[in-house]
Structure 1
Amino acid sequence: MTAIPVTIGRRMLHPAASADRGAPATAAPAVSMGAPLVDMHGRVHRDLRVSLTDRCSLRCTYCMPEQGNEWLARTSILTVDEIVRIARVAAADGITTFRLTGGEPLLRTDIVEVVRRLAAITGPDGAPVEVAMTTNGIRLPELLPALVDAGLHRLNISIDTLRRDRFHVLTRRDRLDDVRAGIAAAQASGLRPLKLNAVAMRNVNEDELVELVEFAIAHDAQMRFIEQMPLDAGHTWERSRMVTQEEILTALSARWTLTPVPGRGGAPAARWVLDGGPHAVGVIASVTAPFCGDCDRLRLTADGQLRNCLFSSTEYDLLPILRTGPSPGGEPVETGIDGMLRSCVHGKLPGHAINDPAFLQPARGMNAIGG
């Protein structure tokens, strides 16, 4: 039996917990559990971004306000058992990569257990899933050995500037040395590919683009620049402050010869080889060069909401399925999870419509959605 979600504003609830709260939304076609997660536009989904917390040790201006944050209720945060239960169903349906995000995922006291249990999951073909993480790196020196031992495969570390004064203003915390120590620990760990992420911002760090790439190369990492997106909790994003992909490439071309790397697939970053290799740089141009047509990602927030797009205004609530047990019809919890995954995929739009005049920024900030 396929779960049929119910619309409550922008949240989709399982009928087991909300049978009388609204009209049924359009359900996904009945498909057997274990079939690939394919949306109405033919995109096969293989990547699930799992947010572990909305809390962070930094307060980056493009993500969250310095004060006055309304944190998710601790009782709503998914437990390790709940995360693993969802992940097992997702893996059976063809998800091969789980990327742990936040907020800051390393603030979870059970982060090593999360990695260990996810890394033990196998897909239908018996192959283990891949577990990756996006982090600010601050706690990596103390935690990375245990994370690697638990089965972590890959790391993305965020660093937007190499200058202490700018870092302090941008993140509202004086933690640049801690981030750099985390990057050094990642370099020593041998986890590859190692990627460093920077949001390119006008009048903030646009004059550091070459310097950031050189820093990444020195740490055997690949630099990836991200166009600033309308995802800040304060809704202060302005297109004029965004540094575009074209501007980024122009700045880098003054230092290196850039050669496009073909075969991007569903990866969010387009890549260019520097001076013939071996080093490369990536650009995630969600605003000026959307890659929605090849998107293979779903998102799970820390409080159990499935999202089919970073910019979606609709969420699919898994908490009632996980915490109220089988549906009135006796449907197993795993079947309900599978049905909600398929409803989420079925409802995915062709693109995010950032460039549409009618675009509305998501109510949640990036820290609450998950990177």
Structure 2
Amino acid sequence: MFQPPTDSYHRRIDYLRLSITDRCNLRCLYCMPAGGIPKLDHDGILRYEEIMRIARIAVHMGISKIRITGGEPLVRKDVLYLCENVAKIPGLKSLSLTTNGVLLSQFADSLFRVGIKRINISLDTLNPAKFEMITRRNLFHEVWEGIEAAQKAGFAPIKLNTVVMRGVNDDEIEDLARLTFRYPFHVRFIEFMPFRPDEQCRKFLSSDEILDRLSKVAPLLPAQSINSNGPALHYRFPGALGKVGIISPISHHFCSSCNRLRVTSDGKLRTCLFASEETDLLSLLRQGALDEDIIQHMRQAIARKPERHALGDVLRKCISRPMFSIGG
């Protein structure tokens, strides 16, 4: 095992997000079209053995944290088998999972048992009717049951991710933040990111505006987050059990400290969420490349990792590849 690789800007790369499917049981308006997406054929998606091989190679290179994402990872058959085997990779310090929560009540206990210790759950609203409008599915209560099941299973902290959209759910910022008075949750507010050219960028609400709204709930105190060097800035309300976080990829980008790689469900390595350049790991795997060959290609990609994303002015520049096909 090596020390984490560094890119040309001296950033230590120690975190890998592995998407295992582009399929999802929700149709969130900021992620997927209402009618769904053309499904990748069976041969176009990474097999579990290939995902595990990529994970082993990455850990050997110095990656210490892996997150399983989708689409919605819990819709893929035998996901527990994958999680259990990745969790057993020698040298891996942290295995986590991001989910929309719909199926979580069925999986929470088993996920915890096989080695998933941290979990992020998408929750953009506390209003069932608005949930159906945002996700195009009437499944709010299933998600809340999943959150409760995760808490009962022992996940801590449970991170709730809210994509803030002006005119859609920004009127619930305060109510979502107040959850931290009742539960030891980390409620994290994420700036809306435009992933499709047709998206209405006027939905964007800056982190400064979000913080201003939060400060009206109660005084905001800076807070530390244990075992996390991620992009969120953390705060706590006096007397609260949990924390609130702000993730601002647009207005105050965190590119200078970015430590992550992404592998899409169709086997493309991306060194930046917003990048256009990809490295085709799936083809390398199926052409019989040795581990050393794959490591070389990954190191070359890391060396080309951009200094920062190129979104620039959120009101004018969007990106062509949608989030579901990149991985959450």
TM-score (norm 1): 0.84
8 Å CA contact 1:88, 1:121 repeated in 2:
yes
> 237, 243, 254: which is aligned to 2:205?
243
Structure (1 or 2) with the larger CA radius of gyration? 1
For the pair 1:161 / 2:118, whether they are aligned, the reply is no
User: Equivalent residue of 2:4, what SS?
Assistant: coil
CA change 1:237–1:275 in 2 (3 A) is farther
1:292 is aligned to: 255
8 Å CA contact 1:101, 1:370 repeated in 2:
yes
Q: Deviations over 1:300-327 (max 9, x none)?
A: 000110000000001100112211114x
1:106 is aligned to: 74
1:25 is aligned to: none
8 Å CA contact 2:181, 2:240 repeated in 1:
no
8 Å CA contact 2:183, 2:242 repeated in 1:
no
RMSD of aligned residue pairs (Cα, Å): 2.0
8 Å CA contact 1:121, 1:129 repeated in 2:
no
8 Å CA contact 1:196, 1:216 repeated in 2:
no
Q: 1:118 and 1:106 mapped to 2: Cα distance? A: 15
Counterpart amino acid of residue 142 in structure 1? Q
1:132 is aligned to: 96
For the pair 1:255 / 2:212, whether they are aligned, the reply is no
For the pair 1:198 / 2:177, whether they are aligned, the reply is no
Q: 1:216 and 1:357 mapped to 2: Cα distance? A: 30
% of aligned pairs identical?
A: 40
2:48 is aligned to: 80
Deviation at 1:256, TM superposition (A): 1.2
Q: What are the residue-to-residue correspondences of 1:335-346 with 2, within 5 Å?
A: 335-346=292-303
Deviation at 1:341, TM superposition (A): 1.3
Q: 1:122 and 1:356 mapped to 2: Cα distance? A: 43
CA change 1:119–1:267 in 2 (3 A) is same
Q: What are the residue-to-residue correspondences of 1:136-151 with 2, within 5 Å?
A: 136-151=100-115
5+ unaligned residues in a row in structure 2: which ranges? none
8 Å CA contact 1:130, 1:153 repeated in 2:
yes
Deviation at 1:278, TM superposition (A): 5.0
Deviation at 1:361, TM superposition (A): 3.5
8 Å CA contact 1:50, 1:299 repeated in 2:
yes
2:285 is aligned to: 322
2:178 is aligned to: 214
Q: 2:316 and 2:300 mapped to 1: Cα distance? A: 23
Counterpart amino acid of residue 189 in structure 1? A
2:57 is aligned to: 89
Once the two structures are overlaid, the 10-residue window that deviates more, 300-309 or 62-71, is 62-71
User: Across the two proteins, how many residue pairs are aligned to each other?
Assistant: 327
Q: 2:263 and 2:219 mapped to 1: Cα distance? A: 39
Counterpart amino acid of residue 108 in structure 1? R
For the pair 1:119 / 2:82, whether they are aligned, the reply is no
Counterpart amino acid of residue 98 in structure 1? I
User: Equivalent residue of 2:168, what SS?
Assistant: coil
Q: 1:319 and 1:361 mapped to 2: Cα distance? A: 27
Deviation at 1:58, TM superposition (A): 0.3
8 Å CA contact 1:154, 1:194 repeated in 2:
yes
CA change 1:256–1:92 in 2 (3 A) is same
Once the two structures are overlaid, the 10-residue window that deviates more, 359-368 or 246-255, is 359-368
Q: 2:310 and 2:225 mapped to 1: Cα distance? A: 24
Counterpart amino acid of residue 247 in structure 2? I
8 Å CA contact 1:257, 1:276 repeated in 2:
no
Counterpart amino acid of residue 322 in structure 1? L
2:324 is aligned to: 367
